[in-house]
Structure 1
Amino acid sequence: MATNLPTTEAAMISCATPEAGHFFFGYYDKSPWHLSGRWMLAGRATFQDRAPKSDDRLTVGLIDLERSCAFIPLAETLAWNWQQGCMLQWLDEKHIVFNDRRSDRFVAVIVNVRTGEQRELPRPVYTLCPTRGIATSLNFARLHRLRPGYGYAGLPDPTAGDAAPEDDGLWMMDLRDGEAERVFSIEQARRILPKQVQGSGPHWLNHAQFAPGGRRLAVLHRWRSSAEPGPWHTRMLTLNADGGEPYPLVDAGMCSHYDWRDETHLLAFARVAGMEGEAKALDGFFRFRDRTAEAVSLAPQRLSEDGHCSYSPDRQWILNDTYPDPADQCRTLMLVRAADGEVFEIGRFFSPMPDQAEIRCDLHPRWSPDGRQVCIDSIHEGRRAMYTVDVTALVSRCNGTWEF
C-alpha cells in the first residue's frame, strides 16, 4: 500500500499536550496552529469514555509550544462532540471562534486571546469563509438527533417532525454583526433529488466547506429511505455562497471526506457510477471538476479505503489517514504525492474502535500553515492527546509539481 520512509528521514512525532486531562482539537478541515507557529488551539475534557452530555463542559485554550506545551485556558463551552469539538478555529491572528450553548440556544463566541474579551453571535458556526467575514451555519440539534457525534446535546430539535424542512438548512452569518440568512434549505436539497430515491425518511446537511476563493462551497446532503433508523445515502452538492446554482457533483449514493484543491476541483472519497470500461460503480478517491461529470481516480490500487484527506498549503501533497486495521487496531497516517499518487506511510497508531462509534478517536490529520508539520488527535498512549509530526524531510526530499 505505502512506501515507508527510510530510518534517517523518519518523521519526528511529539506529544503537544500536557499529561493531565484529555486533549483534542477536532476535525481535519481546520488547522489548530497560529500563523506564528507558536500556539495551537485545543480542547480539554475531564473524561474520554462516553459521549458528552448536556452539562459536560469542554475547556478551550492555547497550547504554548515554546513553553513546554503549557495549556492556557481561555473559555468553556457546552456545545461540543468528540468528532468535531466545538468548531474551534482561528478567526485572525488574535481572535478565535467556537460554539457554545447559552440562554437555550446554540451560539458562536469570538474571543480575543490577548485580552479575553468575548463577543457572542446568534448562531453557531460551521466553517469560515477564507476571503470574507462570513461563516456557514447548520442546525446542530438536528445533527445530534440524526447523526450522533456531529451535533450537540442539550436542546430539542424544532424540526424533528419535518423530514425535509423548508425553514432549515444552510445558513450564512456575518461575523461582524451576526446577521444570518438561510441560503439553501433542506427541502431544496430534497427537491433536486430524483423522486424515486427521495424516500420518506429524514434529510439533513453536513460537512460544508468553502472553495479557496470563497465564491463557491460544497455540502453533503444525506437522507434515509424510511423514517426507521438505518443506513443513509449521501451525495455532494456544490453551490454559490448565496445558495445559487446548486449542482449535484457526486450523486451515486456515497460520498465521505473531501477537500477543495482549487476553485474548480475537489478530492473526495466517493462512489462513481459506471466509469469508462467499468460495468459497476467504484468506490475510491476521485478528483471531481465542479459543475461537470469529470472524475479522475487517484491511486486506486493503493488508496482503496476512506480517509480524512486534505491538500498541503502548496497543493503538492495530500494528507490522509485510515480507520483501524482489524488485524491490529492501528490507524495509518500517510502523505500522498499529488503528482503521481505515490503513498508514503509516516506512522501507525493504536486506536481501538469503541462500542459507541461517536466517541472514537480518529486521527483527523491537519496541516501547519507552512506545510512542514502535521497535527493529529490520538489515543495510542491510553488517553486523548494531540501530537505533532514533522514531515519536513519527506516533503523536501520528494517535492514535485502536482498534476493530479
Structure 2
Amino acid sequence: MARPSAPSSEVTTTTDFEVVTSGASHFFGFHDLIPWDPSGSELLCLRTTVEEDHVPTYDDEAEVCVVDEATRETTAIGTTHAWNWQQAARQRWIPALGDRVVVYNAEASDGFCAHVVDLDTGDRRTLPAPVFDVSGDARYALTVNFHRLHACSPDYGYDHANPPDSLPSYERDGIYRLDLEGGSPELLFSIADLLRRDDIRAQEGEHYFTHILIAPDDTRFCFLHRCISPSGSVTTHLVVMEEDGSDARVIARDKVSHFDWRDSDHIIVWCRQNAAIQKLKSSPLLKFARFLYGLSRKIRSTSVRQSVYGEAFREINVHTQDRSKVGEGVLTEDGHPQVHPYHSQLWVNDTYPNEEHLQTLMLFNQHTNKRRDLLRLPTNPSIQETRWRCDFHPRWDPGGRKVCFDSAHDGRRQLCVKHVGSLVDEMVGDETDGKWTK
C-alpha cells in the first residue's frame, strides 16, 4: 500500500550503492535472514528469467546462486520450483555446519523438501520437508505446510504440480520441527492447539501459520497466525512459544505486520492496538462490516492511522507482554526492520513506495529515536502493490557494516549493497549493549 514517507530528522540520501547483479531477476527475499556467508564476501540469491507479472507456478524455475561481491561472478548451485517473490526459497547459509554450507527449499514428487549443500566439498543431502527457519546451532528447523500457505496466501506459499486433494485438519497441521541430522518432521504445535488455547472459533474463517522466526539464543520462537474471515478481512496474531512448543502466548492481535527479535526476550513489531477496528473486522453484519473496513483501509494519512488506529512500531517483552511505542514521530509507517548483529538498538528499515513510487532505505537508533535516510529509489509501477512487488527487505552483513537490499529501480529486480560502516559508528557512538548474532 502506497503511503507518504515522512521526513526524518537527519537525511543523507545518496545514490552511493552497488548493484551487484544484472540481467535476469536476482533477489534474496525477506528481511529475516542474512544473504552473506560468514566471511561477508559471498551473497546467496535466486536468479530467474520468469516474468515479474504473476505469482510463481509449479513450472516456474529459479536458480539458487552464489554471488562473489568483489568480482560479481555469479555461480548457480542448484534449481528450485519451490519459491516466491517475497521470501524466495528460504535459502540461507548455515554457519554451524560449515563456512560455505547452504540450505534451500525445492520441490519433491509428492510435496516439498530442502537441500543442504556444502559448497566446498560438493556434498548434498535432502531433508524430507522444506524449512522456514533454522536454529543458530543447526540442531533443528521449523516449518509449516506450504500447500496450506499457498492456498491461503499464494505470495508466500509454493505451487505444486500434484497438490493434495485436501488439506490436513487443523488438528494435524501447524508448526513442524525437523531434526537437521535426519528423521521426519514432527508436529510441534497444531492450528487447533492455538484455536483452543485462545478461544478462537475455527468456523469464522480460514486459519494458517506463517513467518516463523527463532530467537537469537534458540530457546523460543515466534510466528504469525492469520485468519481470513468471511468478510474478506485478515486478522493476525503474533504468537511466541518455547523451543519445545510449550507456553504458547499471543502477544499482539488484530493487525500485526513485520517484526524482528531485538534480543531473545523482546520483539519489535509493527502492529495496531484498536479494539473497535478488531470488533468491526469480526462483526457478524458482514456486508456492513466489509463496507466500513474497506473505507478504513483507504485512509492513507499516517497521522490518522497512528493516532486513531493505534498503528506503530512497538517493543514487546515476550514474558510480561509489557509494550512501548518505538519511533514516535520518526517511524510513521510500516517497514521491514532487521536489528544490527552487534548493536540491538540500531535497525536497518525501509518503507513501501509512496505516491511517487519512491521507496526509502534508512537506519534507526531506538535509544536516541533518530532516523537517518540512506537513499530513495523508484520501484517499477507495474509491480507496485501486487503479490510480486519488490520490497527492499534490507539485511545486514555479519559484521554489521553493509546492507543488502532488493530493488527494481532499473526494471527487473537486482541485488544491491550499501556500505554504512561510518554511519553505524556515528549513530551508535559509545553505546553498546552486548553482542549477539542470528
TM-score, length basis structure 2: 0.84
CA displacement 1:129-163 (0-9 Å, x = unmatched): 1134211111111111101110001156648566x
Distance 1:270 1:384 in 2: 28
Q: Match for 2:259: what amino acid? A: Y
Distance 1:103 1:156 in 2: 8
When the two structures are aligned, how many residues end up with a matched partner?
Answer: 390
What does residue 225 of structure 2 align with? 221
What does residue 170 of structure 1 align with? 175
What does residue 373 of structure 1 align with? 402
- Secondary structure, aligned partner of 1:145: helix
> CA 1:368–1:349 in 2, change beyond 3 Å: closer, same or farther?
same
Contact 2:111 2:163 in 1 (8 A): no
Contact 2:110 2:162 in 1 (8 A): no
- Secondary structure, aligned partner of 2:148: helix
What does residue 325 of structure 1 align with? 354
Contact 1:142 1:160 in 2 (8 A): no
What does residue 112 of structure 2 align with? 106
Q: Are 1:23 and 2:26 an aligned pair?
A: yes
Q: Match for 2:238: what amino acid? A: M
What does residue 188 of structure 1 align with? 193
TM-fit CA distance, 1:178: 3.6
Q: Are 1:312 and 2:340 an aligned pair?
A: yes
Distance 2:191 2:206 in 1: 10
CA displacement 1:285-320 (0-9 Å, x = unmatched): 000001323111012212121110111011131111
TM-fit CA distance, 1:181: 1.3
What does residue 3 of structure 2 align with? none
Contact 2:384 2:390 in 1 (8 A): no
What does residue 233 of structure 1 align with? 235
* Structure 1: gaps spanning 5 or more residues: none
What does residue 414 of structure 2 align with? 385
Q: Match for 1:240: what amino acid? A: E
Contact 1:123 1:178 in 2 (8 A): no
Q: Match for 1:23: what amino acid? A: H
* Structure 2: gaps spanning 5 or more residues: 1-6, 276-305, 434-438
Distance 2:123 2:167 in 1: 39
Distance 2:167 2:65 in 1: 38
Q: Are 1:79 and 2:82 an aligned pair?
A: yes
Distance 2:256 2:161 in 1: 29
Identify the match of residue 134 of structure 2 among 128, 132, 142. 128
Distance 1:370 1:107 in 2: 31
Distance 2:258 2:265 in 1: 17
5 Å-filtered alignment, 1:1-400, equals 1-6=7-12, 12-17=16-21, 19-47=22-50, 48-67=52-71, 69-92=72-95, 93-155=99-161, 158=164, 160=166, 165-195=170-200, 199-226=203-230, 230-251=232-253, 253-273=254-274, 282-314=310-342, 315-326=344-355, 328-351=356-379, 352=381, 354=383, 357-400=386-429
Distance 2:190 2:309 in 1: 29
Contact 1:339 1:402 in 2 (8 A): no
TM-fit CA distance, 1:386: 0.5
TM-fit CA distance, 1:373: 0.4
CA displacement 1:85-105 (0-9 Å, x = unmatched): 000000121210000002221
Contact 2:150 2:159 in 1 (8 A): yes
> CA 1:192–1:272 in 2, change beyond 3 Å: closer, same or farther?
same
Contact 1:198 1:225 in 2 (8 A): no
CA displacement 1:163-190 (0-9 Å, x = unmatched): x611010011011114321110011121
Q: Match for 1:299: what amino acid? A: G
Distance 1:103 1:279 in 2: 51
TM-fit CA distance, 1:279: 9.9
TM-fit CA distance, 1:115: 3.1
Structure with greater contact order relative to length (CA < 8 Å, sep ≥ 6): 2
Distance 2:91 2:183 in 1: 17
CA displacement 1:183-228 (0-9 Å, x = unmatched): 1001112122334x655211000101011110111010110222x7
Percent identity, please. Answer: 33
Contact 2:10 2:370 in 1 (8 A): no
- Secondary structure, aligned partner of 1:269: strand
Distance 2:373 2:180 in 1: 39
- Secondary structure, aligned partner of 1:357: coil
Distance 2:387 2:146 in 1: 15
Contact 1:3 1:345 in 2 (8 A): no
Q: What is the Cα-based RMSD across aligned positions, in Å? A: 2.1
